[in-house]
């Protein structure tokens, strides 16, 4: 599934990094402690977090992530939006809890290779 | 002439909900004198309301008390803001208070006691001091700097509320003056054990929540006088001032 397909299918709003919408999602990760995400998120995953600080973009680049989803209605900082645009990392916004969106994505067949 | 000063720059009073009355401003000053500290900073969570009492309770004793606070950013990173004058700290506090949602539940989080220099209880803070502000880390550092304050990222070796644990790394554009290593790690080995602190100046302090904690870690500064401005110079390593490791 691409980020664009996910956004359309589950009505997840794109708020930044539109040029990366064709990235393919290979798995997923949830976390707000960025040191943990850096250490443990799989490459090319979609990452669900409430952390809107600009460091999320750097971590997404490092992990070649497909996209970042800010859950529970959290908003990215202005610098985060700007960096996501430069790097082409899509940032999506989901008003509900991460739990519900994970359920949808997982049921649609997006799994981690070791999961 | 430059002299050595023994500084513990992170002490909580009974205003922080995670402490008890044994950490009244007066008792902290007495204990700090017993521990031969030259400089202490009063850094309660998101508040400076007990710092004035600590400053006044020093009287003629040779102890410098710095008004400060440990501010929790919206990213849930803790940062110490230290000020030369109480007035500057109070302006910062006003800014923090206007971005600090919630009410304390004393039975759940603990009591937040405001006391004077004679150990009289003046009242309780009803704000949710243990909570996170709505201020971004960058915004907090910029505001504190504009008021003449020194900012130090708290306990960077800790996953809970430490900047590296929370944000993965220290953003290049964040103009903090230094980082605090918790008492758990010797200052001498901090750069080896915490690569994420890069070239940031390091201090260590007690983060005292109990009287016995005071002075369990402290930083030796070479300064001309025990002031925040001198500490800023020492962190930069300018004019001969320095942190002695």
Give per-residue pLDDT as tens, A70-86.
999 999 999 999 999 99
Residue in this structure with the two tokens 């981690």, named with its chain if needed: A112
Interface test with B, best of A34, A59, A75 (most B CBs within 10 A): A34
Give the total number of structural domains in chain B.
1
Q: What is the pLDDT of residues B61-89, one digit of tens each?
A: 899 999 999 999 999 999 999 999 999 99
With an 8 Å Cβ cutoff, are B168 and A51 in contact? no
Residue B102's CATH number: 3.20.20.140
ipTM: 0.82
- The minimum CA-CA distance between A43 and chain B, rounded to whole Å, is 16
Name every chain A residue with its beta carbon within 8 A of the beta carbon of B137.
Answer: 53
Longest CA pairwise span in chain A (Å)? 35
Find the length of chain B.
245
**DSSP bridge pairs for B81:** B69, B151
What distance in Å separates the CA atoms of residue B13 and residue B110, rounded to the nearest whole number? 12
Q: What is the 3-state secondary structure (H, E, C) of B90-133?
A: HHHHHHHHCCCCCECCHHHHCCCEEECCCCCEEEECCECCCCCC
Strands (E) located in A1-107: 13-16, 27-30, 45-49, 67-70, 91-93
Asked if the Cβ–Cβ distance from B168 to A55 is below 8 Å, we say yes
* In-domain check, residue A113: no
Q: What is the CATH number of the domain that holds A17?
A: 3.40.1390.20
Q: Which two tokens stand for residue A59?
A: 């971590």
To test the contact with chain B by mutation, choose from A53, A65, A81 the residue with the greatest count of B C-beta atoms within 10 A, namely: A53
Q: Do A55 and B159 touch (CB under 8 A)?
A: no
List chain B residues with pLDDT less than 50.
none
What is the span of the domain harbouring residue B38? 3-244
For residue A40, tell me if it sits in a domain: yes
Q: Estimate to the nearest angstrom the gap between the alpha carbon of B119 and the chain centroid.
A: 22
Residues A15-67: tens digit of each pLDDT: 999 999 999 999 999 999 999 999 999 999 999 999 999 999 999 999 999 99
Q: In the predicted model, is pLDDT for residue A115 greater than 80?
A: no
Measured in angstroms, the CA of A39 and the nearest CA of chain B are apart by 9
Predicted pLDDT at B207: 98
Is A76 contained in some domain? Answer: yes
What's the domain range around A21? 3-107
Check residue B160 and give its pLDDT: 85
- Which positions in chain B touch A55 (Cβ < 8 Å)? 167-169, 171
How many domains are contained in chain A? Answer: 1
Answer whether B84's CB lies under 8 Å from B168's CB: no
CB B157 within 8 A of CB B184: yes
Q: Which residues of A are less than 8 Å from B165 in CB distance? A: 33-35
Q: Under a CB-based contact definition with an 8 Å cutoff, are residues B204 and B192 in contact?
A: no
């Amino acid at each position: 599934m691409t980020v664009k397909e996910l956004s359309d299918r589950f009505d997840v709003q794109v708020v930044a990094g539109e040029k990366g919408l064709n990235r393919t999602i290979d798995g997923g990760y949830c976390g707000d402690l960025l040191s943990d995400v850096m250490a443990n998120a799989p490459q090319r995953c979609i990452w669900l977090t409430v952390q809107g600080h600009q460091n999320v973009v750097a971590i997404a680049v490092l992990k070649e992530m497909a996209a970042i989803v800010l859950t529970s209605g959290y908003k990215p900082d202005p610098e985060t939006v700007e960096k996501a645009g430069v790097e082409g990392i899509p940032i999506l916004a989901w008003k509900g809890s991460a739990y519900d969106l994970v359920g949808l994505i997982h049921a649609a067949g997006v799994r981690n290779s070791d999961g | 002439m430059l002299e050595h000063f023994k500084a513990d720059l992170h002490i909580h009073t009974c205003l922080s909900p995670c402490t008890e009355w044994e950490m009244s401003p007066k008792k902290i000053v007495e204990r700090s004198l017993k521990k031969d500290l030259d400089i202490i900073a009063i850094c309660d969570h998101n508040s400076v309301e007990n710092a004035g009492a600590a400053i006044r309770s020093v009287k003629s004793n040779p102890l410098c008390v710095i008004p400060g606070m440990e501010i929790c950013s919206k990213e849930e990173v803790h940062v110490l803001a230290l000020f030369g004058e109480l007035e500057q700290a109070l302006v910062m506090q006003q800014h923090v208070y206007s971005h600090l949602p919630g009410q304390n539940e004393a039975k759940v989080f603990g009591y937040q006691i405001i006391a004077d220099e004679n150990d009289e209880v003046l009242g309780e803070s009803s704000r949710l001091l243990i909570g996170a502000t709505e201020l971004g880390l960058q915004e907090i550092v910029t505001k504190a700097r504009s008021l003449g304050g020194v900012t130090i990222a708290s306990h960077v070796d800790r996953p809970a509320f430490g900047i590296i644990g929370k944000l993965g790394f220290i953003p290049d554009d964040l103009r903090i003056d230094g980082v605090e290593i918790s008492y758990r790690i010797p200052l001498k080995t901090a750069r080896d054990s915490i690569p994420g602190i890069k070239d940031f100046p390091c201090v260590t302090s007690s983060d005292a929540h109990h009287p016995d904690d005071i002075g369990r870690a402290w930083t030796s500064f070479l300064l001309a006088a025990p002031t925040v401005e001198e500490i800023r110079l020492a962190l930069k390593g300018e004019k001969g001032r320095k942190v002695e490791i």
